[in-house]
Chain A
Amino acid sequence: QVQLRESGPGLVKPLETLSLTCTVSGGSISGGSHYWTWIRQPAGKGLEYIGRIYSSGRGSTNYNPSLKGRVTISLDTSKNQFSLRLSSVTAADTAVYYCARDGSYCGGDCHSYDYWGQGNLVTVSS
């Protein structure tokens, strides 16, 4: 059973960089045609896609343009982890941050978030 767990600071100062790590257990992060994704959810609000990274090869990435180039997602296969960096944060970045596996279904044609971490609340405040 694949399990994901986020870790990182719960408080970040404005204009600094938010850094979170997701540790994957129960399977290799580089096994299979999966993507590894970050999603966030402000308190009482809906879900927002941040970006994803492919599990193997050069680890191709895709980011939400709404975050205006502030996002970097990276992969560390030796530690079975992937990470999120979000720079120049403001109060609007305060949210619960989830890591999730973007699983490949329908022979690779369909994708859905089939495994999730428990979430990591990050508050941006001085």
Chain B
Amino acid sequence: DIQMTQSPSSLSAFVGDRVTITCRASQTITKYLNWYQQKPGEAPKLLIYAASSLQSGVPSRFSGSISGPDHTLTISSLQPEDSAIYYCQQSYSFPRTFGQGTRVEIK
């Protein structure tokens, strides 16, 4: 199985801050990486697919990128409604696997 490791596990930032979450796979997954946002009591919501493609309806402050072995989710200007847990997920091979999650809190 491909292991997905996210960092940090949690972060706290101010409204308007730029926030970055990193995900690294235990083997190469190229562009086959998705990002989800999960709020308490809700199902996850797709934000980014194929590493950098913004899902329809998702605010443009969310973006995804690849740099070497690392995939990155960036929130360019953190908003109060962005308080949530963020998960990466690889779709390169089976079984599909998720990162352990990054909790984003608003200061």
| Residues on A facing B (Cβ under 8 Å) | 46-49, 62, 64-66, 98, 100, 105-106, 110-114, 116-119
| Interchain CB contact under 8 A, A62 and B94 | yes
| Interchain CB contact under 8 A, B43 and A119 | yes
Residues of A within 8 A of B101 (CB): 46
Residues of B within 8 A of A116 (CB): 43-45
Task: Flag whether B62 is at the interface (Cβ < 8 A).
Answer: no
Residues of A within 8 A of B98 (CB): 46-49
| Interchain CB contact under 8 A, A49 and B34 | no
Shortest B75–chain A CB gap in Å is 19
| Interchain CB contact under 8 A, B100 and A111 | no
Residues 38 to 56 of chain B near chain A (Cβ within 8 Å): 42-46, 49-50, 53, 55
Specify the main secondary structure of chain B where it touches its partner: loop
CB-CB nearest 4 A-B residue pairs: A116-B43, A112-B49, A49-B96, A64-B95
Assembly CA distance A59 to B99 (angstroms) = 28
Assembly CA distance A110 to B55 (angstroms) = 13
| Interchain CB contact under 8 A, B50 and A113 | no
Assembly CA distance A64 to B42 (angstroms) = 24
Residues of B within 8 A of A46 (CB): 87, 98-101
A113-B97 in contact given A47-B87, A105-B49, A119-B43 (Cβ < 8 Å): no
Give which listed residue, A65, A106, A112, contacts B46 with CB less than 8 A: A112
Binary contact readout B7-49 vs A (1 if CB under 8 angstroms, 0 otherwise): 0000000000000000000000001101010000011111001
| 30 A-B contact pairs sorted by A residue (CB < 8 Å) | A46-B87, A47-B87, A47-B89, A47-B98, A49-B95, A49-B98, A62-B94, A66-B95, A100-B43, A105-B50, A105-B53, A106-B53, A110-B49, A110-B50, A110-B53, A110-B91, A112-B34, A112-B46, A112-B49, A112-B50, A112-B55, A112-B91, A113-B36, A113-B44, A113-B46, A113-B89, A114-B49, A116-B45, A118-B43, A119-B43
